[in-house]
Amino acid sequence: MTISHHPTDETLMRYAAGTLAAGPAIVVGAHLAACPVCHARVRGFEALGGAILAQTEPTQLSPSALSDVLARIDAEEGIPQPPRREQKPAEIDGVRLPDSLRGCGIGRWRWIGPGMRMSRIGVPHDPDATVIMLRVGPGRALPDHGHVGTEFTYIVSGSFTDRFGRFLPGDLAEMDEDVEHQPVVDPGEECICIAALEGKMRFNSLIGRLIQPIVGL
Ligand SMILES: [Zn+2]
């Protein structure tokens, strides 16, 4: 797995601190299981958070505290591998789904446009979370959209390209609210991805406006 698109450090810190909303945490969690680099950074942020909590009196952290912790972890353990799980992985039509979706309800596929299907993912501990799985045919454009709040997309299989580059399985696309982009699935293979929003999506295209009531935004 060649991973070239990662979450921002701010997102990884929020994941480590447990302040990232449940939906985005599932999508970022899928990336962490595939990306030893980000997995190690989250461990570092967790260690740093623990070190801060352990202080009896508030003191200023040295500017190099974070890099010191990361260097120590790398020196002690190398880059840690994601934990192996014994349970049988969840699959959909032969495609393995990320472990972070375990326990979530996966809705039936709905046709939302030519070559495009969507399934709503139910998050048990946050019923209001907006998480969807998209399945888009080769060469098809995903709905043109902007969003209010950050959008997180994890590529499960296949690939797509937008003006930020090519996104392959394991990659995470994190798009700020002022970004408008239109991913197009690469030729040859359909693309399955999971997406979560911290905020509401604004669809620009006709198909997007048709999706809106289904997604429930
Ligand atoms: Zn990463």
Helix (H) or strand (E) holding 136: strand 130-136
d(CA 33, ligand 1 centre) in Å: 9
pLDDT of 80: 46
Identify whether 34 is part of a domain.
Answer: yes
Are residues 197 and 25 in contact, defined by beta-carbon separation less than 8 angstroms?
A: no
Q: Report the CATH number at residue 165.
A: 2.60.120.10
Q: How far is the CA of 9 from the centre of ligand 1 (A)?
A: 10
Residue 78, pLDDT > 60, answer no
In a domain, 203, yes or no: yes
pLDDT higher than 80, residue 208: no
Question: What number of residues does the chain have?
Answer: 217
What pLDDT is attached to residue 18? 87
Checking if the pLDDT of 158 tops 90, the result is: yes
pLDDT of 178 higher than 60: yes
Residues 22 and 121 reside in one and the same domain:
no
CA 213–ligand 1 middle distance (angstroms): 33
Q: What's the confidence (pLDDT) of residue 38?
A: 96
Q: Do 62 and 145 fall within a single domain? A: no
Look at residue 205 and tell me whether its pLDDT is greater than 90. Answer: no
pLDDT value at position 86?
A: 46
Residues 14, 117: one domain?
no
Report how far Cα 57 is from the mean position of its chain's Cα atoms.
36
Cα of 43 to ligand 1 centre, how many Å? 13
Number of domains making up the chain: 2
Share of the chain above pLDDT 70, in %: 72
Q: Looking at the domain assignment, is residue 3 inside a domain?
A: no
Q: Are residues 40 and 109 in the same domain?
A: no
Q: Quick one: 44 and 103 in the same domain?
A: no
Q: Which domain holds residue 209?
A: 95-215
DSSP string spanning 159-206?
-EEETTEEE-TT-EEEE-TT--B--EEPTTS-EEEEEEESS-EEE-SH
Residue 102's pLDDT is what? 87
The whole-angstrom separation of Cα 167 and Cα 178 is 20
* Side chain identity, residue 200: K
Domain assignment present for 84: no
- Report the first-to-last Cα separation within the chain, whole angstroms: 33
Residue 4: inside a domain, yes or no? no
Same domain, 40 and 128: no
In this structure, the answer to whether residues 100 and 194 fall within a common structural domain is: yes
Indicate whether 110 and 35 sit together in one domain.
Answer: no
206 alpha carbon – ligand 1 mean position (Å) = 34
Q: Which of 19, 51, 77 is the last residue of a domain?
A: 77
Nearest in space to 195 (alpha carbons), one of 136, 139, 114: 136
Exposed e or buried b for every residue in 40-49, given b needs 16+ CB within 10 A? Answer: bbbbbbbbbe
Q: Looking at the structure, do residues 101 and 30 belong to the same domain, yes or no?
A: no
